[in-house]
Amino acid sequence: MKSKLESLLDKNKLPRHIVIIMDGNGRWARRKGLDRISGHREGMKSVRSAVKSARELNIKAITLYAFSAQNWSRPKDEVDALMELLKQYLLKEGNTLIERGIRLNAIGRLWELPHDVHRVLVETTEKTVDCNEMTLTLALSYGGREEIVDAIKKIISTENISPQNLNVDMFNKFLYTADLAEPDLLIRTSGEMRLSNFLLWQLAYTEIYVTKTLWPDFRKRHLIMAILNYQNRERRFGLTSDQVKKRKVQ
């Protein structure tokens, strides 16, 4: 049964691809007198809720910033706990993803993940390869600057590409996200106003929505509120409002 909030959504103006910077686990735990790992554990409930809700709303792609390239510098016990939470999520949710028609994808320097985590990630990705209702992408050991550097390395090592032939469309093909549509909506939780080295190339014309809600408290109603906000915006992609209106008429 739809909530009143969900009934306000325009099903014809849904973002195709939503990306989320999941921030606030540590602050959530601190406010409750708990350790940071407890905050990350609670944040996994929000991951499950966000994925389930996005599928219910018929969103075609959702990308979650799960572990950044810079997160390796955090205390070892926290990194180990995050890797274990990731592995347990993949082990427990694999069949659920298949049942919901969700294909698992991952981007980042995945070779830096612990062997057992990488193995489970690959296995889960392969299990869901034929699912086509929604794509869930996990950004792991991911950094936007690192992605651009890795793309340049690929270009340099590829024969028959001259500087004269290199353009935006071609560069896109060398990014981790080559098979994904560009993000329509970025959601950042916890109220922080920064990109944190996330999808620096891809977010060029993405609509940004920031909520003060901490990630462990994020649920379906928060996702709907972000989408409603998105639907009330005019996306111009560098054009004027008049030019956008003319294109819609045509």
User: Domains plus CATH for the chain?
Assistant: 4-249 (3.40.1180.10)
71, 172, 197, 229: the catalytic one is 71
What confidence score (pLDDT) does residue 250 get? 60
Looking up tokens 């609670």, which residue turns up? 42
What confidence score (pLDDT) does residue 243 get? 66
Say whether 23 is catalytic: yes
Tokens of 26: 């540590």
Is residue 65 within 8 Å of residue 21, measured between CB atoms? yes
What is the amino acid identity at position 110?
A: L
Tokens of 13: 């103006």
What confidence score (pLDDT) does residue 244 get? 59
23, 25, 105, 184: the catalytic one is 23
Say whether 229 is catalytic: no
Pairwise CA distance, residues 66 & 21, whole Å: 8
Is residue 211 within 8 Å of residue 187, measured between CB atoms? yes
Digitized pLDDT (tens) for each residue of the chain, 250 residues in all: 678 999 999 999 999 999 999 999 999 999 999 999 999 999 999 999 999 999 999 999 999 999 999 999 999 999 999 999 999 999 999 999 999 999 999 999 999 999 999 999 999 999 999 999 999 999 999 999 999 999 999 999 987 888 888 999 999 999 999 999 999 999 999 999 999 999 999 999 999 999 999 999 999 999 999 999 999 998 777 767 766 566 666 6
CA Rg value for the chain? 19
* Secondary structure E strands in 37-170: 61-68, 102-107, 134-142
What confidence score (pLDDT) does residue 247 get? 66
Q: Is the dihedral of CA 225, 228, 232, 234 positive or negative?
A: positive
